[in-house]
Chain A
Amino acid sequence: MSPLRSVRLGPGADLAGFRAACRSLIAAGVPPEAVGWTEAREPGLFGAAGDESGPPLRLPRAVADLVPAVLPHRDPERHALLYRLIWRVGAGERHLLEVASDPLVHRLLRMRKAVGRDLHKMHAFLRFRRVPGAGARETFAAWFEPDHHILEAAAPFFVARFPAFDWSILTPDGSAHWDGAALVFGPPGRREDVPADDPFEDGWCHYYATTFNPARTNPAAMRAEMPKKYWRNLPEAAAIPALVRGAQGRVAAMIEREPVLPAKRVPARALAAMAEQEPDSLDALNAVIRRSEPLVPGATQAVLGEGPVGAAIAFVGEQPGDQEDLQGRPFVGPAGRLLTRAMAEAGLDRDAAYLTNAVKHFKFEQRGKRRIHQSPTAGEVSHYRWWLDRELAFVAPRLVVALGATAVLALTGRPIPVTRARGPAEFPGRPFRGFVTVHPSYLLRLPDEARDEAYVAFVDDLRRVRATAGTLTV
């Protein structure tokens, strides 16, 4: 029988100390029954175990994860239990943790669960109060009494959630402080160090009392999730006894009262007006579009269609570009100027046509000072189709020209390559004739030698558009 080895660790969840102790114990082959574990009450009064360290332990991932999750537990046997687990795993039971029915594993898993629940409840039930007149930054403070040594594990949650104001969390075991830059842990605090009141607390308690439904009173279910031990630090809990006492009377009163005579309220005009919320003109529709949120953030403004209602021909492009976004008008950038020139050559009057885009907001990627155009996704195109459909219904053109693949997608709901659909087209279910050609920005991207030829073909398309539109009667 080997003599008892005594290991003294720091208070609370001393992970570093425990890890060092395990390494040296395993290296020396000390079995679990030969180790006595004690915990110092104050930090800094221990260290005997850490002196002689061994090589790092090679533990299965699940075991390595379990150790820091169990160490915060207040059970004084936690070190002995964890060391027993590590010993058994090292002695050949590599999969021990998967055997949740093993009494040791079962107990450790329950401890982990208790620590996890304690953490969760601290995140849930801690209440901040505003510290009045503290400084330029807003300052809040909270008092909380956790069951286990979880302050250090719990604090990062509050940093992620409340980085923009200063806060302190005080507990009987220690405190945590955030100043916008660093999280610092300090000595235990006192309940009296937190303000006794807060300007929104009364309102919160009022909300809590109001949101309770007396017809469903079930205090046992409440206590299962919010045990009484938490109540003294929850301002809203003070109302619980009165809410429960008064519930039966409130419900009885409600049932006695009913049924009541309904108020005679048939606001015929309001109801009729409600039914007419659909925009009833192009201007009304444009007002809706103008105040709507861009689907992808960044655009300066919505770019609306332009041209006379009743135009014989409507052109549908892809989406506004950099220039269009800044000026708030369609087809005013380089591609727009090219389109205007080609229309003129084909004998089409730009002012007599209606020009618009499938998508109403500019989408781009910022590269240095330049905003690089990005094509809309299929999902974005379908987001905007509601407006395009209504817009074309108001303008009621005889012929709609789809410029490029995005316009084709918007008008047909299907991705069809322009090369295959180019020329006169049917857009199923639409009251107008269709024509498909390339988007003028496509021409701008071609190398010089190819561009001239492509431009001629584009102008040719526009001549056919003109001819087709001319044959269509109103």
Chain B
Amino acid sequence: MSLRTSGSARAGQYAALLCYLVFLAFPFLWLISTAFKPARELGSLHPTWIPEQPTLDNFRQAFDEQPLLRAAANSLTAALCAALIAVVVATPMAYVMARHRGRLATAATGWVVVSQAFPFVLVIIPLFLVLKNLHLINSLWGLVMVYVVWSLPFALWMLAGYVRAVPPELEEAAAVDGAGKVRILVSVTAPLLAPGIVATALFAFITAWNEFFFALVLLKTPEKQTLPVVLTHFLGAEGVADLGPLAAAAFLATLPSLVLFAVIQKRITGGLTAGAVKH
């Protein structure tokens, strides 16, 4: 079978890719455009991509009206802690699940899949009561715990996949060379798992960074509210919104995720493909 692609097929592929990129980028580009438009342009019947009279007023208003920096610091703290803890807890569990196949591992995998089916509203009241008994309502620690628990099943499932992709023969070879179990894990398996760990941490970070409902319910005082909760303060009843400042604040809120992806994207893809083929 030939792997060569004809010119027209290649053009078609690029066209499809372009359409997909436009589809993905459109909401974000529109968000940026809205963030820099004055209120009167937002009500224009013929909206333009490039603001006719670009302004920073929406950003000024957003910062004046809401404590965005404090909320961002709270979000960052919660998301970083959640990502860190989720990865630390999930990595050894994932290793065991992937390497030691047995009834327990099968049951654990099944539970991971089932746990994804529970909607937020179903668990929130029991969760609230548990956290209340632990005196963790209105506490970022409590929120971090919830985020860890919430992202753990998927993180586990994701990491187990990465562990399975590491050939056991490598570990066996190291054992033959006299390396102990810990040495094998630290020197052989862990470096190969690094891209997977980074990807999983990123997943846990973004899940926590964007999460709204748990933060809304569990955090009471304004000083502890996270960014997604503060963003809703630009929304009124029946979907009415203060669109300009909302777009400005939402644009700023997406930046950390974008920067993170931009910085570590190469590492993830590089790690994923490393050693995939023999040269």
A joins B in a complex = no
Interface residues of B (CB under 8 A from A): none
Interface residues of A (CB under 8 A from B): none
